[in-house]
Amino acid sequence: MSTIFEPGRSLEVRYGCDVAVCGGGFGGVAAAVAAARSGKKVILLEKQFMLGGLGTAGIVTIYLPICDGRGRQVSFGLAEELLRVSIEHGCEKEYPSEWFDELPDDASDDEKEARLRARINHRYRLRYSAPLCAISLEGLLLREGVTILYGSAVCGVHEEGGRITHIMVEGKGERFAISAGAVVDATGDADVCGFSSAPVEYFKQGNVLAGWYYLLADGKVDLRMVGGAADVPAGFKPASGGSSSSSNPRLPNLPEGRFLGLDTGELSDVTIRSHAATLAHFLAGGKLSDTHALTMMTSTPQVRMTRRIAGEYTLDIAEEHKYFEDSVGLFPNWRKAGPVYELPFGTLWSRRVGNLLTAGRCISVTDPMWDISRVIPVCSVTGEAAGCAAAMVCDGGHLAEADVSALQSELVSRGVLLHE
Ligand SMILES: Cc1cc2nc3c(=O)[nH]c(=O)nc-3n(C[C@H](O)[C@H](O)[C@H](O)COP(=O)(O)OP(=O)(O)OC[C@H]3O[C@@H](n4cnc5c(N)ncnc54)[C@H](O)[C@@H]3O)c2cc1C
């Protein structure tokens, strides 16, 4: 592959902040809110023009459980708050009344038993409206005093002395820099880690094609899942071949029919195929009419796992119910009732970059755990912890020297449960 030389240039440092949050999905929104509540000046950089990431622009509108499936809530703090914010203007489906509505103090044993059964039968989850959720997340950030910069793609970092001092941003028609005391990488794909000296790992199993969309059918709007609700099943063999090839020789090769999600050409190909699959799915029910309409399709590629930080600790799926002294939150297994995981602080950072944390689907977990930790409620848990920690090190501290018990006390004061 040939190369050309891009001339160096000086960039205007257009903004400055204590904590820069890169990416405005659920992980980034939680991180920004958490850092702002620590009294820090926070800027959130989002390359699109709406918040929520895959959870809104990607039409993944199911807030998966914050309970363990045995009737017990395990994720609290912003994981619960963002669930409530997502339905601020109404719940699309499965309003969790058995979780929201308190029993009276004098409830009988039978009523308490019935309530527990209802909670076991319907996990603490719901479906929200993508556009209303995006607007509500924006309102939340504005109320918390976070500066939102839309149309701002992070495209590089400047490091000095083992810390990121500046972030380079490709804005509308110009490139500029932002000075930051600490940075949270909530890009989903660990873009900031990739630009920095932080070590990263790739999801070598790859992603399969998906194309969720909203359909109006017989007067009702409903979510349709092309590619299925399930995620990459182990041993998956695509029905038709046609793997998407990456033009970037530095990225790993993937099995036939899978895509990584980190290359522009590959993502464009996947997007075009996803559009075709969505259209075919829609047309199978007939052409556009008063009662049959495709009302919303994704505006961002539906990728599940791509790249993550190789952090100080890498959490595995076998570590259910394991005590971690440095736990910064709890989360359940959305796939099955029972397992609960403590989130070790070390999954969020690497000592190579002393003021960089990750939040959302790019934290440090093994491949099997990745499928459990990447979902919306867990992104909120990781975001809250990352935002609080970023606020603690933004004045020159290093994460390796962070006072973890002070961080834990702060999280507990915000309602987060750390240990089972
Ligand atoms: C098909 C599919 C179905 C799923 N189903 C569910 C489900 O039912 N329930 C569930 O809970 N989860 C589900 N998930 C997973 C879940 O949606 C995501 O993992 C989760 O929303 C990720 O949140 P995040 O904040 O980590 O990242 P993202 O939502 O990916 O957000 C990252 C944000 O960063 C922005 N960004 C990226 N790079 C840059 C950059 N360089 N500069 C600036 N901004 C940048 C993006 O535009 C985006 O807004 C599904 C995922 C897929 C693909």
Question: How far, in Å, is the centroid of ligand 1 from the Cα of 188?
Answer: 6
Shared domain check, 356 and 220: no
pLDDT number for residue 72: 97
Closest to 380 (Cα-Cα) out of 73, 78, 32 = 78
Shared domain check, 285 and 153: no
Question: How far, in Å, is the centroid of ligand 1 from the Cα of 60?
Answer: 8
State CA 336 to chain mean position distance.
Answer: 20
Q: For residue 172, count other CB atoms closer than 10 A to its CB.
A: 7
Contact yes or no for 17/45 (Cβ under 8 A): no
Phi, psi values for residue 41, rounded to 5° = -80, 120
Expressed as residue numbers, the domain containing 231 is 211-297
Where does a domain end: 256, 276, 297? Answer: 297
E-strand spans in 208-266?
211-217, 220-226
Question: How far, in Å, is the centroid of ligand 1 from the Cα of 381?
Answer: 14
Shared domain check, 51 and 183: yes
Where does a domain end: 239, 270, 297? Answer: 297
- Nearest residue CA, atom 10 of ligand 1? 375
User: What does the block give as tokens for 33?
Assistant: 């809110």
Q: Average pLDDT of each block of 10 consecutive residues along the chain (420 residues)?
A: 89 98 99 99 98 97 98 98 98 96 93 96 97 98 98 98 98 96 98 98 90 91 81 47 60 80 92 93 94 95 96 98 98 97 98 98 97 97 98 97 98 97
Contact yes or no for 187/22 (Cβ under 8 A): yes
Kindly provide the b/e burial profile for residues 224-250, where b requires at least 16 CB atoms within 10 angstroms of the residue's own CB: bebbeeebbeeeeeeeeeebbebeeee
Give the C-alpha separation, 347 to 267, whole Å: 27
Phi, psi values for residue 237, rounded to 5° = -120, 115
Where does a domain end: 250, 268, 297? Answer: 297
Shared domain check, 389 and 282: no
Please indicate whether residue 262, judged by its CB atom, sits closer than 6 Å to ligand 1.
no
Question: How far, in Å, is the centroid of ligand 1 from the Cα of 301?
Answer: 9
Shared domain check, 189 and 88: yes
pTM of the complete model: 0.96
User: What does the block give as tokens for 196?
Assistant: 């920095």
Shared domain check, 122 and 36: yes
User: What does the block give as tokens for 116?
Assistant: 């527990």
Please indicate whether residue 261, judged by its CB atom, sits closer than 6 Å to ligand 1.
no
pLDDT number for residue 217: 87
Please indicate whether residue 303, judged by its CB atom, sits closer than 6 Å to ligand 1.
yes
Residue 419 lies in a domain: no
Please give the torsion angle defined by the CA atoms of residues 85, 91, 96 and 101, in that order, rounded to the nearest 10 degrees: 70
pLDDT number for residue 242: 42
